[in-house]
Structure 1
Amino acid sequence: MNQTLRSMTPEHQVGLLFLIVFGILAIVSIATLIIGLRERRNHDRGEAWLQDFNDFRRLLRTSWGMAVLFWTGWVLGPGAATFLFGLFAFLALREFITLSPTRRGDHRSLILAFFVVLPLQFILVGTAHFNLFTVFIPVYVFLAIPTVSALANDPSHFLERNAKLQWGIMVCVYGMSHVPALLMLSFPGFEGKSAFLVFFLVFVVQACMVVQHVIARHFVYPPAEGTSKLRRWLTRPPFAPNVSRSFNWASWSAGMAIGTVVGGLMSFITPFKYGQAMAMSLIACVAGSMGHLVMKALKRDRGIPHWGQKGVGVTGAAGLLDRVDALCFAAPIFFHSVRWYFGV
């Protein structure tokens, strides 16, 4: 079996990966449909189970959407994939800015961010100008945004307004742009397979976040009397309750462990050895989970439960930014760790 996979062309190997992903999603979707039809007739489950089941169906729909978009980007080539992630960045930045107050003096800076900075950043990614792409926003845009804002002649809350916009650009544009940048990396003996790196990063980070969320949701503090030692260990009080009621060190550690092991098991689709894959997975999971916590702090500061329009998602998320915030933090750390360690 292993010899057969190695004899396949890179295009066929990536195609097989998507075939497996779509096959798993189809099986899970059919099983979910059957369970849903059965529960409509029986009504034996409680409200808590039904809520978890509805959350799972929303997660399944999101997984289908992401898989189809990734497949579309791969079929159309790196240029189309870069464009798709640029569109994601545009929508995520719009969510971030829409839920943050702006003034008339911010209009020029907003035009610069959406219609100059964002396209240029993804053009640099698509043309593989990595040296400029990595410093364009942190250096040049960092200086350009406040300059344009100052020329608008509106000093009211100047620092707060510019910090807000630069935060949005860094997270939504700079962070997101590192995902398609992985497609441009070239490893010896791994040519044409960079789509595996994107899949590896997304799958590992999402596995970590789902495990962390599930444990925090099902092991609510305080623990009931007579529970096992393992359950008492998992049932911890939130570490930063004013920021996140679901974040505690037990669920976080479990998410790190599962994400790291999953990354090690997926080492065969990457240019990494088993230990290297585990190390890269741990780096991505730590960055993604901490980034998710930071974005929760920003939402608390804004006084909103989620980004985007009203609605409910698998983790209380409604907008695109809720679903990709961990990836926006993990992608730059993962990308530069890979480039630095392997010298690509």
Structure 2
Amino acid sequence: MKDPELLYLIGGVVAVLVIASLITETLCRKREPTPTLINLRQRVRAWWWMMLVFGSSLALGRTGVFGFYTLLSFLALREFLTLSPTPRGDHRTLALVFFIVLPLHYLFAWAPWYGMFLIWIPVYSFVFIPIRSALGGDTDRFLERTARIQWGVLTCIYFLSYLPMLLYLPIPGYEGQNAKLLFFVVLVTQISDVMQYVFGKLFGKHPIAPSVSPSKTREGLIFGGLAATGIGTALWWATPFHPGAAAAMSALLVLAGFLGGLVMSAVKRSLGAKDWGRGIPGHGGVLDRLDSLLFAAPLFFHVCGYYLSTDMNEAHGRFEVFDNILHLWQ
């Protein structure tokens, strides 16, 4: 939070929220509010709270950021698993996931133990989960139940954890500024969601997958995506990219965010639900707000690392890992 450019970014978002609040409140007072306008006002008010929480986590430093995303993963996974009843035989498996797999994964990320961060969930945890369920003795729909838990762990914990891991990317000439890169990813992805929603409401006529998400239209994706890409390109000065690379990275975030949201909507529909929860007025649940980040975060992390020729294994060796864990213990 001592980085002036990061403060400029936060100030810009606050200014946009102030303008959006004034517009929505004025429209609601001057005319009979429509359901769309009421939903828009709820969304703007919710964004104030989300911005406050996100900014507070940045103010607390790396540990605050990792703690914040640990909580988000917990809430997102809880919403995911709540939509589908879990038989008694899987209760101990869920305890393993929530109280061992999740905290250990974020501990490896915070340390940072990059090698273990990469394989803890897709290798070790994916082995432990079916073993624990098999020991429960319930074979009814065993594969379906196990795959559902594994998918929830992969998306809500593993994919989401790539966002705070951006703080550890070793970027020459950009040391100590990685919080801006995290802010860039979240900002572009979320603005893309907002722009697609707005343009879809104004001009949307051709749904892309009507049975999955009727509100996602070609017009919303194209015009909203172009607007978000333009905003991301204009913020190149806050990133380690030149304008052309910032445009390409923004387009990647737009596409990955759209596809992530579409896939999670398909999962939602298969479970017979419209929203993942009701925790955020106007948005649904926590996972409804995070779905576009689930695919965008890991893709951006690895593409960015490849483009900038970073080496996480070399930058964050095992000795640093144990030093950080020892410091935490002390």
What's the TM-score bracket when you normalise by the shorter of the two chains?
0.7 to 0.9
- Counterpart of 2:291? 325
Q: Closer, same or farther in 2 for the Cα pair 1:53/1:330, shift >3 Å?
A: same
Q: Which residue type is aligned with residue 141 of structure 1?
A: S
Distance, in Å, in 2 between the alignment partners of 1:27 and 1:216 is: 21
| 1:177 alignment partner in structure 2 | 161
Q: Evaluate the alpha carbon distance shift between residue 23 and residue 245 of structure 1 in structure 2; reply closer, same or farther with a 3 A threshold.
A: closer
Please list, as runs of the form range in 1=range in 2, the aligned pairs for 1:4-23 lying within 5 A after superposition: 11-23=3-15
Does structure 1 conserve the Cα–Cα contact (< 8 Å) formed by 2:76 and 2:286?
yes
Provide closer, same or farther for how the CA distance between residues 242 and 21 of structure 1 changes in structure 2, counting only shifts above 3 A: closer
1:302 equivalent in structure 2? 271
Q: Which amino acid aligns with 1:335?
A: F
Q: What is the Cα-based RMSD across aligned positions, in Å?
A: 2.0
Structure 1 portions without partners, runs of 5+: 1-8, 221-234
In 1, distance between residues paired with 2:115 and 2:252?
22
Tell me which residue corresponds to 1:29: 21
Does residue 340 (structure 1) correspond to residue 309 (structure 2)? The answer is no
Aligned to 2:198: 214
- CA apart distance, 1:332: 0.9
Q: Confirm or deny that 1:134 pairs with 2:100.
A: no
Letter in 2 for 1:118: L
Higher Rg of the two aligned structures: 1
1:70 aligns with 2:54: yes
Shift of 1:80: 0.9
2:92 alignment partner, one of 90, 108, 133: 108
Q: Could you list the per-position Cα deviations for residues 108-163 of structure 1 after superposition, in whole angstroms to 9, with x for gaps in the alignment?
A: 21011101111111111111222221222111111111111111111110001001
Q: Size of the alignment, in residue pairs?
A: 310
Give me the whole-angstrom Cα distance separating, in 1, the residues matched to 2:198 and 2:5.
32
Structure 1 window deviating more from structure 2 (90-99 vs 190-199): it is 190-199
| Alpha-carbon spacing, 1:212–1:27, altered in 2? closer, same or farther (3 Å) | closer
Deviation at 1:215, TM superposition (A): 2.4
What is the TM-score with the length of structure 2 in the denominator?
Answer: 0.88
Cα distance in 2 for residues equivalent to 1:104 and 1:276: 50
Per the TM alignment, residue 89 of structure 1 is displaced from its structure 2 partner at its CA by 0.7
TM-score by length of 1: 0.84
Write out aligned runs for 1:1-344 (5 A).
Answer: 11-36=3-28, 38-39=29-30, 43=31, 45=32, 50-220=34-204, 235-236=205-206, 238-309=207-278, 313=282, 317-344=283-310
Shift of the 92–127 alpha-carbon distance from structure 1 to 2, 3 Å rule, reads same
Distance 1:207 1:22, change over 3 A: closer
> In the alignment, residue 307 of structure 1 is paired with which amino acid?
W
Q: Is the 8 A contact 2:43 2:281 kept in 1?
A: no
Q: Distance in 1 between matches of 2:2 and 2:208?
A: 45
- The one-letter code sitting in structure 2 at the alignment partner of 1:320 is V
Deviates more, 1:171-180 or 1:304-313: 304-313
Q: What's the CA shift for 1:76? A: 1.0
Task: Tell me how far apart the structure 1 counterparts of residues 119 and 260 of structure 2 sit (CA, whole Å).
Answer: 20
Which stretch of structure 1 is more off in the superposition, 238-247 or 326-335?
238-247
Uncovered stretches (5+) of structure 2, i.e. residues with no partner: 311-330
Identity of aligned residues (%): 41
